Structure 1
Amino acid sequence: MSLIVFCGPSLRPEEGRAVLDAVFLPPAQQGDLYRALRQKPVALGLIDGLFEQVNAVAHKEILWAMSQGVHVLGGASMGALRAAELASFGMEGVGTIFEWFEQGQLEDDDEVALLHGTEEDGYRPLSEPMVNIRATLAAARREGVISSTTQGELLVLAKERFYAERAWPPLLAHARERGLGAGELDALGGFVRSHRVDQKRQDALRLLEVMRERFSGEITPKKVRYHFSHTDAWQALRDRVDAPEVPHSSQGPRPPSSAPRNRRKLRSFPLPE
């Protein structure tokens, strides 16, 4: 029995291996799930995926994997997006972020977007995803660190920023420039340093825990209720993946980081608790 998990900035592979005995692969791009099925896994866990500089994981390859009897679970980042989009077809979502998307409380891809380092750098996060900002501000309000009014104003300021420029220091500095209460912002700065909520990491760990619980014994192959259509686009994707490898010296560099297109519909409201 084999399990495969795609992760990177949301959760380091070494952290994942402490929770789940699985093959951990870098953030997925289009074709990677199709390619992973050559290892004949019983289940795939999609956490992180690449977006802008390369083609994102295709819905079609997830549908194909499930039609081949493979369980596909998603959460935290790209996995949460795809799970919400394909829940009606049988992809299983895990975690709070998935629930926010699946219930329609969030819609925009940029909510999980972040800038991160290269594979050699361990995909180290270089910006703060909007979902983490939402979760941290909600926690700060619950603890009485900030008011609900300040929470809402900070959400507007954070959402207005380009995803790659979202980080706590510039966000708090911008809030000061806009005249938000200095006392609350000072208190929030301390709260962030000691109690910042990494919702993506929490959801990624939860996904691994679910996979460990679900796939520890004999596994029944995934059964789907749809007919998988073998389209020209699907064959083209397969042809690209199955093509002989081009020698590395003639290939362009693989983009070091990526994130979703910033399709933003301004959402300043706090999420329901």
Structure 2
Amino acid sequence: MAKPVIFLGPSLSHEKARKILPDADYRPPAKKGDFLRLAASPDVKLVGFVDGVFLQDYPPTPIEVYQLARKEGMVLAGAASLGALRAVELEKFGMIGIGRVFNLYKSNKINADDEVAVTFADGDFGLQSEAMIDIRYNLYLAYKKGVISKNTKTVLTTEAKEIYFPHRNYTDILDIAKSRHPEIQDIEAFRQYIKTGRKSLKEMDAIKLVEFIKSKISGS
């Protein structure tokens, strides 16, 4: 059997993923045609789908991913980003969803593509914008730790959501919020917090997917 294929990029670096599962075929974020080519490959039986393109190219459609999911003997898992979206759409056809982002979409607590959409650099897939789902998560953590008030969390979430996803970043979100809401005192507290306290729900879920793929190899 061929190595498992994992589409991965900005959610989790290939370097970090290889520390968990060295023996996998790590590929860039999936684009149109990638899943059709895999469906035509007789040897690939284990595929993980985390990242896909949003603006850089055409993303893989649900129909394309379905062609792979329906393949006999195929284990196809999705998580964290576009993979989580496709897993919700195709779970009834056998695609496996993993992680909190998947469950948030499945339960309809979030529903927009732009919750996970980001732009990233070619080559190393470094983030050029922040995912809305990760912004929500960090605001929640800051609120639970007493860094910001519930009102500030709500205001910053609203300001972030209004920014088109390729342009979402903490500097702009906080600057806009501060100019519109000068009465809010703890915006600067969050600015300091996020410098060292930033967490990524997408990365956590991507790690879970790589660990799942590893467990399927070990159990085969």
TM over 0.5: yes
What TM-score do the two structures reach when normalised by structure 2?
0.93
d(CA) in 2 for partners of 1:17, 1:180: 46
Q: 1:153 to 1:180 in 2, by over 3 A?
A: farther
1:202 is aligned to 204
Q: Does 1:91 align with 2:82?
A: no
Cα deviations by residue, 1:202-247 (Å, 9 ceiling, x for unpaired): 11111111111233132xxxxxxxxxxxxxxxxxxxxxxxxxxxxx
Identity percentage over the alignment? 34
d(CA) in 2 for partners of 1:177, 1:163: 20
1:127 is aligned to 129
Q: 1:180 to 1:87 in 2, by over 3 A?
A: farther
> Taking CA–CA contacts closer than 8 Å with sequence separation of 6 or more, which of the two structures ends up with the larger relative contact order?
1
State the shift of 1:137 in Å: 0.3
State the shift of 1:196 in Å: 0.9
d(CA) in 1 for partners of 2:182, 2:135: 17
The residue type equivalent to 2:55 in the other structure is E
Give the match's secondary structure for 1:215.
Answer: helix
Q: Does 1:67 align with 2:70?
A: yes
Residue 57 (structure 1) aligned to one of 49, 55, 60: 60
d(CA) in 2 for partners of 1:152, 1:207: 31
State the shift of 1:180 in Å: 4.7
Q: 1:182 to 1:152 in 2, by over 3 A?
A: closer
Give the match's secondary structure for 2:9.
Answer: coil
Q: Does 1:22 align with 2:24?
A: yes
d(CA) in 2 for partners of 1:10, 1:95: 13
Q: Given that residues 74 and 92 in structure 1 are in contact (C-alpha distance below 8 angstroms), is that contact kept between their aligned partners in structure 2?
A: yes
State the shift of 1:39 in Å: 6.4
State the shift of 1:182 in Å: 5.1
The number of equivalent residue pairs is 216
1:30-41, aligned counterparts within 5 Å?
30-37=32-39, 38=41, 40-41=43-44
The residue type equivalent to 1:157 in the other structure is E
d(CA) in 1 for partners of 2:181, 2:33: 48
1:108 is aligned to 112
1:184-199, aligned counterparts within 5 Å?
184-199=186-201
The residue type equivalent to 1:117 in the other structure is A
d(CA) in 2 for partners of 1:200, 1:185: 24
Q: Given that residues 62 and 72 in structure 1 are in contact (C-alpha distance below 8 angstroms), is that contact kept between their aligned partners in structure 2?
A: no
Q: Given that residues 30 and 55 in structure 1 are in contact (C-alpha distance below 8 angstroms), is that contact kept between their aligned partners in structure 2?
A: yes
d(CA) in 2 for partners of 1:39, 1:191: 49
Cα deviations by residue, 1:152-173 (Å, 9 ceiling, x for unpaired): 1111100000101110111111
Q: Given that residues 14 and 26 in structure 2 are in contact (C-alpha distance below 8 angstroms), is that contact kept between their aligned partners in structure 1?
A: yes
The residue type equivalent to 1:189 in the other structure is R
Q: Unaligned regions of 5+ residues in structure 2, if any? A: none
1:1-273, aligned counterparts within 5 Å?
1=1, 2-20=3-21, 21-37=23-39, 38=41, 40-68=43-71, 69-119=73-123, 122-181=124-183, 183-218=185-220
Q: 1:193 to 1:53 in 2, by over 3 A?
A: closer
Q: Given that residues 79 and 97 in structure 2 are in contact (C-alpha distance below 8 angstroms), is that contact kept between their aligned partners in structure 1?
A: yes
What TM-score do the two structures reach when normalised by structure 1?
0.75
1:260 is aligned to none
